[in-house]
Amino acid sequence: KRLAHPRLHSPILGLMTEYIVGLKAYAETLRRIDEEGKRPGKSPAWLDLREHRLEGVEVLDRYTYRITLHGKYPQFVYWLAMPFFAPIAPEVDQFYSQPALVDRNITLDWYPVGAGPYMLTVNNPNRQMVLERNPNYFGETYPDAGEPADDAAGLLQDAGKPLPFIDRAVFSLEKESIPYWNKFLQGYYDASGISSDAFDQAVRIGASGEVALTEEMRGKGIDLRTAVQASTAYMGFNMLDNVIGGLSERARKLRQAISIAVDYEEYVSIFANGRGLPAQGPVPPGIFGYRAGETGMNRVVYDWVDGAPRRKPVEVARALLTEAGYPGGVDRTTGAPLVLYLDATARGPDDKSRLDWLRKQFGKLNINLVVRATDYNRFQEKIRKGNAQIFTWGWNADYPDPENFLFLLHGAQGKVKSQGENASNYTNPEFDRRFEQMKNMSNGPERAALIDEMVEIVRKDAPWLWGMHPVEYGLAHAWMGNRKPNQIANNVLKYQRIDAKRRAELREQWNPPILWPLGVGALVLAAFVLPAAVAYRRRERRTGQIRLTETAEP
């Protein structure tokens, strides 16, 4: 019901009204009641949601309710796991609606009330946030099943034990990466990511691409875990553009040529420290429908060589460019050099090197890439109106389902047409027809076959230069247990455990008191003080002798 509350502005209300029976009418009812109850100069009265019935939701017992949907929507179970559907007690809603609290900004946002394993006891985002064990947690046990490798990795040793294991978790804000990294190495932080500055100190990448920790990290017992993120970073082509857009063979081969020429393997190596997987399509690893190996290779851009995909030679891209009507990067019909435009929000020195690299990639085809730098608001406006020709974009999964990536290419989601998330404004009837079939199907062979067909369609049309899927690198000390990378869930803290005794021992071992600076300081101080003391003593003696002589004369 809170999804439809007129004062909360839920970002998923529009989507949920399409599926939850009666939610749209319920939202309209609440909006009308809220408008009628407004009083000039006074805080709005509490809106008791229990007084108004939501047709598609039925309470079964104290802990169970049933939601009725329009049609079939398997992805709905993922939405139920998100914060939008977190249960809020009515008395909490009523308490925080008191005018005296609202006027003092004492709200549920800053003083949350929930039923999870931890309580937020310190909430200072500019310095520190602290979670402490919730004594009223309803009780949950550690999983007793997992993936095939989990048991061997020791991740099921706590099966059946009550959660959580950690009593108190402290999150501190470090404004500089160097002191943060040094504190991690000293054992004062339990886990860490790897910044670009510290990457070479932490990780070594072998000649064949294997990733390993350095001797220093292994010597401290630090563990490295990697996981491909459920996200994609891509370069989009505006399919409404009269040069690079459309489904004509001319435009399609131009996009394919660029897709081959822009070497994302090199990009990952230079700009991401190797922390990325060149994409073969829109669906990232770990999501149903993704295929690895030769069967999942983009044959428009790659050949399968020695058991791995290898980017086609640039000569293939030049041949495609000639077939597209641009031999040597010159328009055959006009004789003018081909000029393309990239809209970007780049401003800093790091961005300059990236853009120079992109110009070099397009230069392989003698294409002049002009970068139009702008601020983010202007960039978004260009995307909304379809005024950008080429752009870089990305998407993080809302939930682990292929529909959440393939809808980015669905014609009905066109940015210009309907303000959807299809920023390239790609439309292909064959793709759209299959998408409508696939989107609400349960996972299985039939759905997988449709996804394969859709991916092949977009690989050929190349509305995106597929870019890469980022890889997350995480480090943890040996005293941390039950750590498994998860790019979707945010509730992993309750599973982890800490060996506090071992942590204390290693901290003491790694940070022994360093006494030699005190000795050096004492010597330096003595070097300054001793000559001064001797000089003072000599002066005192000379002064005493003079006084004796003067008093003896009378």
Task: Look at residue 550 in the predicted model and tell me its pLDDT.
Answer: 52
Put residue 489 in one of left, alpha, beta given phi > 0 → left and psi -120 to 50 → alpha.
Answer: beta
Taking residue 351's Cβ as centre, other Cβ atoms within 10 Å add up to 14
Task: Look at residue 209 in the predicted model and tell me its pLDDT.
Answer: 67
Q: Which residues, including other chains, have CB under 8 Å from residue 401's CB and lie 6 or more apart?
A: 74, 75, 78, 287, 288
Per-residue confidence of the chain (554 residues) as pLDDT tens digits? Answer: 999 999 888 889 999 999 999 999 999 999 999 888 777 767 778 899 999 999 999 999 988 999 999 999 999 999 998 888 988 889 999 999 898 898 888 888 888 888 889 999 999 999 999 999 999 898 799 999 998 889 988 999 999 999 999 999 999 999 888 899 999 999 999 999 998 888 889 998 876 667 889 999 999 999 998 889 999 999 999 999 999 999 999 999 999 999 999 999 999 999 988 899 999 999 999 999 999 999 999 999 999 999 999 999 999 999 999 999 999 999 999 999 999 999 998 766 778 899 999 999 999 999 999 999 888 899 999 999 999 999 999 999 989 999 999 999 999 999 999 989 999 999 999 999 999 999 999 999 999 999 999 999 999 999 999 999 999 999 999 999 999 888 788 889 999 999 999 999 999 999 998 888 888 888 888 888 888 878 877 877 775 555 545 554 54
Q: Which residues, including other chains, have CB under 8 Å from residue 159's CB and lie 6 or more apart?
A: 141, 142, 143, 144
CB 184 within 8 Å of CB 172: no
pTM for the whole thing? Answer: 0.84
Bridge partners (DSSP) of residue 277 are 469
Radius of gyration of the chain (CA): 32
Query: Hey, what are 228's tokens?
Result: 């491909």
Long-range contacts of 347-353 (CB under 8 A, 24+ apart): 347/373, 353/271
Task: Look at residue 352 in the predicted model and tell me its pLDDT.
Answer: 87
- Among all chains, which residue has been given the structure tokens 């190996």? 293
**45: part of which helix (H) or strand (E)?**
none
Task: Look at residue 552 in the predicted model and tell me its pLDDT.
Answer: 47
Cis peptide upstream of residue 90 (ω within 30 degrees of 0):
no
Phi, psi of 66 (to 5 degrees): -115, 135
Closest to 211 (Cα-Cα) out of 223, 195, 229, 197: 223
Task: Look at residue 547 in the predicted model and tell me its pLDDT.
Answer: 52
Put residue 389 in one of left, alpha, beta given phi > 0 → left and psi -120 to 50 → alpha.
Answer: alpha
Helices 445-461 and 249-261 meet at what angle, rounded to 10?
90
Closest to 473 (Cα-Cα) out of 232, 181, 267, 224: 224
> Any idea what DSSP says for residue 248?
S
- For the chain, the residue count is 554
